Structure 1
């Protein structure tokens, strides 16, 4: 087992998927801001169209490493449920962005970052060089005053108590409703769309829904196609029974495969991460979009779906 040792590590389809302009995204330290800023919208969308990226990891996320070849690790992201592999989401990550897990003792639980971005501090109170994204989960060593002390891939650090939630284990964070998950998405309005995105530097459509549910103590599958097979089916042709937090799924016109998902936000509105037009997280009136005619499934998740 290894853990992600950078704020965000991209899971690539293969080492050959990386373009020259992606250099800033495969090093350690990584700079998501510099990488995203250096790409045109067309170059960002090519990550999807050319099937270069699969998903992403965030700081401290565990992975199973199957093999290491020429500086790249073939991994399984064990927290990201997928129909591709029952063990976790597969792909390739530069080994420099991972660190081998070490046994931990005398822990008090875990923390989850509950703000869009969060500074880590050294034990002497000086800021560390790393800022971690929303939903980062780390082992908790102790709480002391306004601080929580955590174990990280870079050693023990501290973090502001006001920026995190705590629990006895990753399965025991307080659970909230699907409506709350949809409301959490509002915090990321106008965040740029990023194919395969699983961090507060940029989400894709199912990355947004996955992470907002994760923020509510609920784990669902990583991809829209798998998410569409979970939960409770709700009538597609009767919007009067839809509730805020229901997931709306859309199918490709030609293949019939699910290729998009968003939260129903009430009053005929949807909040989603879209690659069209603005290419960002937005709230829209569903009937006024091109998505409306492609709606194929509506699913409702209970407050306590299957936990990983």
Structure 2
């Protein structure tokens, strides 16, 4: 099978279950440019919940991220995301993306986006600027782009739109992804706390909204750890920790049937018997006491990815 390579060219592309998954109400999420804020503001609580209940969305992909194109059907591409590890496909997380959200590149050019100094967006939302300092598109927290040069107050980056600029105060430069400093548990909690009050989004992987495992994935990615995308697989990696030894920054996992059934949720231990998590459609990222809630009985696994 011939596999093409592409880059996401919108602020955040939604990875749909199939080409028929988007509804009329989702039009702003499948056009280019994506109108992510307008789309989410338009969705009623019931329409947001249906993204989960009807299994319409799989994940999301940030601007400049590499995808491998397995096939094309009409205006859609079946892709995998190599940076989102999944048992669903050994090449990466699979799903469908509108072709207009992808800029194809030659496989040989992939090194320009992988073997390079990088810039990672640390603000929740910032702007990508063109040569004339006019805004091109918004960029989400955790967007990673190759660094070309540093100027007085700007970082020049290589993008699907060509050479462009990010305000230096909105991002941090590193020699490579591997050089992102690995935070300890307290550092992970501090990073997670920035997103208190953000409304849950099923499949969400940007600062416009996270689901439970998307939240843990992104907080750990920003903290120097690349972990699996989904909660079930996150619970199988890292180091197992006994409940009485849990520390801030550990991942807590929850299963139905008082911890004996299917795993359904992940949160980050905050300390003092609390966790920070993105609970469910209609709710916001919150720091919550575990004792006395159904989470206390459903807590089934604890994993540690961080180290001092």
Place the TM-score, normalised by the shorter chain, in its bin. Answer: over 0.9
- Runs of 4+, deviation exceeding 4 Å: 104-108
Provide the TM-score with structure 1 as the length reference.
0.93
> CA 1:95 to 1:226, structure 2 compared with 1: closer, same or farther past 3 Å?
same
Partner Cα distance (2:230, 2:98) in 1: 22
Measure how far apart 1:129 and its partner are. Answer: 3.1
Q: Does 1:235 align with 2:266?
A: no
Measure how far apart 1:140 and its partner are. Answer: 0.8
2:159 is aligned to 152
2:254 is aligned to 250
Measure how far apart 1:123 and its partner are. Answer: 1.8
* Aligned counterparts, 1:86-101, within 5 A: 86-101=90-105
User: Which digits, 9 at most, give the CA deviation of each residue in 1:114-152, with x for residues without a partner?
Assistant: 11011111222x232311000000011111111110011
2:129 is aligned to 121
* Aligned counterparts, 1:281-300, within 5 A: 281-300=285-304
1:31 is aligned to 35
- Between stretches 49-58 and 288-297, larger displacement belongs to 288-297
- Between stretches 101-110 and 288-297, larger displacement belongs to 101-110
How many residues align structurally? 299
1:111 is aligned to 119
User: Which digits, 9 at most, give the CA deviation of each residue in 1:246-285, with x for residues without a partner?
Assistant: 1100012398121100000000111000116x51111111
- Between stretches 250-259 and 85-94, larger displacement belongs to 250-259
Verify the 8 A CA contact 1:208 1:273 in the aligned structure 2. yes
* Aligned counterparts, 1:58-207, within 5 A: 58-101=62-105, 103=109, 109-124=117-132, 126-207=133-214
Partner Cα distance (2:156, 2:54) in 1: 42
Unaligned runs of 5+ in 1: none
Measure how far apart 1:79 and its partner are. Answer: 0.5
1:16 is aligned to 20
Partner Cα distance (1:294, 1:48) in 2: 21
Verify the 8 A CA contact 2:225 2:306 in the aligned structure 1. no
Verify the 8 A CA contact 1:3 1:62 in the aligned structure 2. yes
User: Which digits, 9 at most, give the CA deviation of each residue in 1:196-244, with x for residues without a partner?
Assistant: 00000000000000000110111000000000001111113x2xx2100
Verify the 8 A CA contact 1:178 1:301 in the aligned structure 2. no
Find the residue that maps to 1:230 and give its secondary structure.
Answer: coil
Q: Does 1:273 align with 2:273?
A: no
> CA 1:243 to 1:122, structure 2 compared with 1: closer, same or farther past 3 Å?
same
Find the residue that maps to 1:182 and give its secondary structure.
Answer: helix
Provide the TM-score with structure 2 as the length reference.
0.93
User: Which digits, 9 at most, give the CA deviation of each residue in 1:100-125, with x for residues without a partner?
Assistant: 1253769861110011011111222x
